[in-house]
């Protein structure tokens, strides 16, 4: 009984997407939805299958995933480092935070014309935009996490003779981790968003390019398929982070057995 209840509960989140898919397919079959506006799910699946067979899909997904990964690692790494630094040091925070907050308020996609002037439409331009986009969520949340570690615990650790390095390793970083994870998930979201825009505007490979290229030839089913791939990759990254979160934060009752 419990296993059946569990299975039902696991299936529940997929009920709405499946219903939408069925309605979509039905609408297409009955001619309510024109194929030039939105092709039927079976058409989209077919397009996906063909792209998979030609090897085009794998190549483009690889390129996009590489851009997302490297750009995110650069931006997130710098964001984490600066967040840690500004969270720990008042001097550094006073010196840098105002400038960073000013830059943060410029939508990073507004820099696209400038970035194209600087880097052309090469890989650097896309990596730069992705890094810039993922930098701020990680930076802001790391700093906030470090700053909001229970001062009682820090006082205890200092009273028990912990030196700076050990204090950061054993108290501040673990204390800031829940907040850093929020930044991580948010940053990943921005990464995909940036990549879609960057690849659509100026690229010769990647999923965004694949979609734009298909648009030229009015292959709507490929366009829709590309959008679905983005959704799947985003969901994959988010799930991976959740899993990591649950492993790293198992001490926290909020994240335990969920």
**Cα–Cα dist 180/138, whole Å:** 7
Residue selected from 89, 101, 239, 252 as contacting other proteins according to rule CB under 8 A: 252
From the list 84, 89, 122, 258, the residue with the least C-alpha distance to 198 is 122
| 217 lies in the site for other proteins, by CB under 8 A | no
**Cα–Cα dist 138/136, whole Å:** 5
Half-sphere exposure of 258 (CA within 13 A, CB side): 13
Cα 162-163-168 angle, rounded to 5 deg: 90
| 177 lies in the site for other proteins, by CB under 8 A | yes
**Cα–Cα dist 162/170, whole Å:** 9
Nearer to other proteins, 27 or 175 (CB): 175
| 19 lies in the site for other proteins, by CB under 8 A | no
Binding mask 61-100 for other proteins (x = CB under 8 A): ----------------------------------------
Nearer to other proteins, 42 or 250 (CB): 250
Nearer to other proteins, 129 or 177 (CB): 177
**Cα–Cα dist 24/183, whole Å:** 35
| 156 lies in the site for other proteins, by CB under 8 A | yes
Count, residues near other proteins per rule CB under 8 A: 21
Least separation in angstroms between CB 155 and other proteins: 7
Contact between residue 38 and residue 26 where contact means Cβ atoms under 8 Å apart: no
**Which pair of structure tokens corresponds to residue 101?**
């907050």
Least separation in angstroms between CB 87 and other proteins: 17
| 152 lies in the site for other proteins, by CB under 8 A | yes
Determine how many CB atoms are found less than 10 A away from the CB of residue 6. 10
Residue selected from 161, 165, 216, 258 as contacting other proteins according to rule CB under 8 A: 161
Candidate segments 110-118, 136-144, 156-164, 239-247, binder of other proteins by CB under 8 A: 156-164
**Cα–Cα dist 54/76, whole Å:** 34
Q: Quick one: angle between helices 173-201 and 56-88, nearest 10? A: 140
C-alpha distances out from residue 64 to 44, 162, 207, Å? 20, 44, 6
| 171 lies in the site for other proteins, by CB under 8 A | yes
| 170 lies in the site for other proteins, by CB under 8 A | yes
Least separation in angstroms between CB 158 and other proteins: 8
Nearer to other proteins, 41 or 174 (CB): 174
- Per CB under 8 A, residues contacting other proteins are 152-153, 155-157, 159-163, 166, 170-171, 174-175, 177, 249-253
């Amino acid at each position: 009984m419990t296993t059946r209840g569990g299975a039902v509960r696991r299936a529940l989140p997929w009920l709405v997407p499946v219903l939408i898919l069925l309605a979509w397919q039905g609408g297409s079959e009955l001619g309510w939805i024109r194929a030039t506006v939105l092709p039927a799910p079976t058409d989209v699946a077919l397009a996906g299958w063909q792209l998979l067979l030609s090897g085009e899909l794998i190549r483009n997904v690889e390129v996009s995933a590489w851009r997302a990964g490297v750009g995110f690692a650069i931006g997130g790494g710098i964001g984490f480092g600066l967040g840690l630094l500004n969270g720990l040091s008042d001097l550094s925070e006073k010196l840098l935070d105002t400038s960073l907050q000013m830059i943060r308020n410029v939508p990073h996609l507004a820099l696209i014309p400038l970035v194209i002037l600087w880097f052309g439409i090469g890989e650097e331009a896309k990596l730069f935009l992705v890094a810039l986009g993922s930098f701020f969520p990680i930076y802001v949340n790391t700093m906030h996490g470090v700053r909001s570690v229970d001062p009682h615990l820090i006082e205890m650790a200092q009273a028990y003779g912990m030196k700076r390095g050990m204090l950061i390793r054993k108290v501040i970083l673990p204390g800031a981790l829940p907040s850093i994870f929020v930044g991580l998930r948010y940053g990943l979201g921005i990464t995909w968003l940036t990549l879609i825009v960057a690849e659509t505007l100026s690229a010769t490979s990647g999923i965004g390019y694949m979609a734009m290229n298909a648009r030229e030839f009015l292959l709507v089913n490929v366009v829709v398929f590309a959008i679905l791939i983005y959704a799947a990759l985003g969901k994959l990254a988010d799930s991976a982070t959740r899993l990591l979160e649950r492993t790293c934060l198992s001490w926290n009752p909020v994240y335990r057995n969920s």
